[in-house]
Amino acid sequence: MIYPNGGGSTVRINALVGNPRPESRTHGLARTLAAEIAGVLPGATVSEVDLAVLGPRVLHPADPDACAAVAQVLDSDVLVIASPTYKASYSGLLKAFLDRFATGGLTGKSAVPILLGGLPSHHLAVDLHFAPLLLELGASVPARGLFVLESEVSGFGSFAARWADAHAAALVAGSAAPAERTSH
Ligand SMILES: Cc1cc2nc3c(=O)[nH]c(=O)nc-3n(C[C@H](O)[C@H](O)[C@H](O)COP(=O)(O)O)c2cc1C
């Protein structure tokens, strides 16, 4: 299904990758899902931030490339954020990068968390650890996170196409509406 672009504005999708190794399988998952989401949103653009390129520079407040990566993320409507599963959670590299953002700094954006892992018993880590981090940053997380086993990587393309078809509309709606708090 192709979703109409109600407001006529371009949806900017960014694939943010938190693997310390460049061009990882984790990167491939983020790139694939971002492309599939763009495929059902006419006119959508896709960009990428691979944190492996920055490495330890994510910790340097004034590093120009790290600052540019933050700006690129902020210039997005939909974030596909992928990490390898490390110690039943997301990578330290990804956390160090996201610590550059203010609390609520991703307000108005939709996010899709993806964890790639080797242990089926860690499948809940994406919703128990990763999604709450993105919510703390103010992002809307309209769908359950994706935990992908290493053995499932080869079949991810067809899964991603179906997932994008089912969830793209919710992602666009979420990026238009900042999350609300009902308690203080
Ligand atoms: C330091 C380290 C810790 C890991 N911890 C976990 C873990 O707790 N649970 C899990 O399912 N996989 C774990 N793995 C496996 C990685 O999640 C898996 O190899 C990775 O997602 C592969 O992604 P890549 O090919 O993009 O590097 C760990 C791997 C490393 C190197």
pLDDT at 184: 46
CATH topology of domain 12-176: Rossmann fold (3.40.50)
What lies within 8 Å, CB to CB, of 80 at 6+ separation is 13, 14, 15, 16, 30, 33, 34, 37, 111, 112, 114
Pairing of strands 146-149, 110-117: parallel
Our answer on whether the CB atom of 85 is closer than 6 Å to any ligand 1 atom is yes
pLDDT at 120: 98
Predicted TM-score of the model (pTM): 0.94
* pLDDT tens-digit series, residues 129-151: 999 999 999 999 999 999 999 99
Ligand 1, atom 30, residue with closest C-alpha: 86
Closest ligand 1 atom to the C-alpha of 28?
A: 26
Substitution site in 24, 86, 122, 126 for ligand 1 pocket (most atoms within 8 Å of beta carbon): 86
Query: Which one-letter DSSP state was computed for residue 11?
Result: P
pLDDT at 8: 57
* pLDDT tens-digit series, residues 33-63: 999 999 999 999 999 999 999 999 999 999 9
* pLDDT tens-digit series, residues 172-184: 998 876 656 565 4
Q: Where are the domains of the chain?
A: 12-176
